[in-house]
Amino acid sequence: MRQTITFIVTQDCQLKCKYCYLVGKNHREKMSEKTALQVVDYVLRHPTDFNTDEEIVFDFIGGEPLLRIDLIDNVCAYITKRMGEENNPWQGKYSFRITTNGILYGSPAVQQFINTYHNKLYVTISLDGTEDKHDASRVYPNGKGSYNDIIKNVPLWLQQFPETSTKVIVSSENVSYVKESIIHLCDLGIKYIDVNPVLEAGWKEGDDTIFEQQLIALADYIIEHDLTEDHQIGCFNIQIGKKLSLEEEAQWCDLSNTLCVDANGFFYPCIRFAKFSLRDKQPWSVGSLEHGIDKNKMRPFFLLDRVSQSPQKCLDCEVASGCGWCPAENYDSADTHTLYQRGTAVCKMHKARVRANNYYWNKLAYKYNHQND
């Protein structure tokens, strides 16, 4: 699996999305160029701490990372220079990744950056679907929706990254817009669409029924309009909804190949263990630029697996495959300071997805079996 190094370049963002797990976003904490370059130097000086067999991805995140495009540009220039040096285990095996809200995508500074690093760059814009669905959650601090500020940049984004994907976040506030939103994204030309219900608590009674109805209606549309060949919609997957053996899905989220660094040079298994991501717990740092990675603090993450984290009802579940969890959300919602108490807030939503997924594949099989009748 590829190695990912994540830079939290800022904790600031123009938006205040209702479902955002970054509960402590602020204007103050911004990574300096000195710290960012030290991160690069640390990684290259300590290759044995990381997976060198495959590509290394330098991931820039926030907040909204494009607020720091000048910093990102300088860091990528430095990485490119260092990657050309001899005895580099990742020579020729590196890339850059940015996930953005898309507001600044068309700005001259961002476009110059993209033109410079396009061959090594992957950019994802977060777009929730139609204007109504998007603006139900992805809003400015004053409550104004952000759809119109983002949609104007989508044609350019798709021209530059035609094989890109987007992620639709489903929450209680927007679950009734799922079908029309995914159709809208397909109409825009986006071919790869993930559909992810939020893992945190906050679902209301009946949301799972609405979700199932939305996905069944979406399945009908996709099959009737022959979108199955050119689009991949993440909510419909042949592997979803099966019973798992104990050997399968050892860990939903593999934290053994990720390292996240904040503005102060502290290391985390991922961004969700940093202070501004946590509601009720203290940050879980696993080292720092000054002291390096503390392997004892990393040990619990290497030991995580589905069995150790899940209650018995999850282990016995007949439709467990595809039901996700987040180790950091487990930690944040647990009664104690533990990684081993799996959150189950998404259980009903997963089962609704499974029922709709079964409907989709049965209908698709029927169509193919009878299309020549």
> How high is the pLDDT of residue 246?
66
Region 277-302: mean pLDDT is 94
Dist CA 123 CA 162 (whole Å): 11
In a domain, 150, yes or no: no
For 201, other C-beta atoms within 10 Å of its C-beta total 11
Q: Which of 303, 318, 334 is the last residue of a domain?
A: 303
Domain assignment of residue 154, yes or no: no
If asked whether residues 313 and 351 sit together in one domain, one would say yes
Distance CA 248, CA 252 (A): 10
Same domain, 331 and 295: no
Taking only the tens place, the pLDDT of each residue in 37-50 is 999 999 999 998 99
* Number of domain units in the chain: 2
Q: pLDDT band for 145, please (50, 70, 90 cuts).
A: very high
Q: What is the pLDDT of residues 305-345, one digit of tens each?
A: 888 888 999 989 999 988 888 999 999 999 999 998 998 99
Q: Are residues 22 and 110 in the same domain?
A: yes
Domain with residue 121: its CATH number is 3.20.20.70
Look up residue 195 and give its two tokens: 């559909």
Q: How many helices (H) and strands (E) does the chain have?
A: 13, 11
- Model confidence pTM above 0.85: yes
The set of residues, in sequence order, having a beta carbon less than 8 Å from that of 294 and lying 6+ positions away, is 286, 287
Q: In this structure, are 258 and 245 located in the same domain? A: no
Assess whether 219 and 341 both reside in one domain: yes
Q: What are 95-104's pLDDT values in tens digits?
A: 999 999 999 9
- pLDDT score at 251: 64
Share of the chain above pLDDT 90, in %: 76
- pLDDT at res. 52: 83
Handedness of CA 229, 231, 233, 237 (dihedral sign): positive
Do 77 and 199 fall within a single domain?
Answer: no
- The boundaries of the domain holding residue 95 are 1-126+254-303
- Alpha-carbon distance of 221 to 179, in angstroms, equals 9
Task: Give yes or no: residues 177 and 93 share one domain.
Answer: no
* Distances 73 to 137, 167, 329 between C-alpha atoms, Å: 30, 25, 32
Domain end (from 303, 328, 343)? 303
Pairing mode, strands 3-8 and 121-125: unpaired
Among 61, 6, 38, 75, smallest CA distance to 289 is for 38
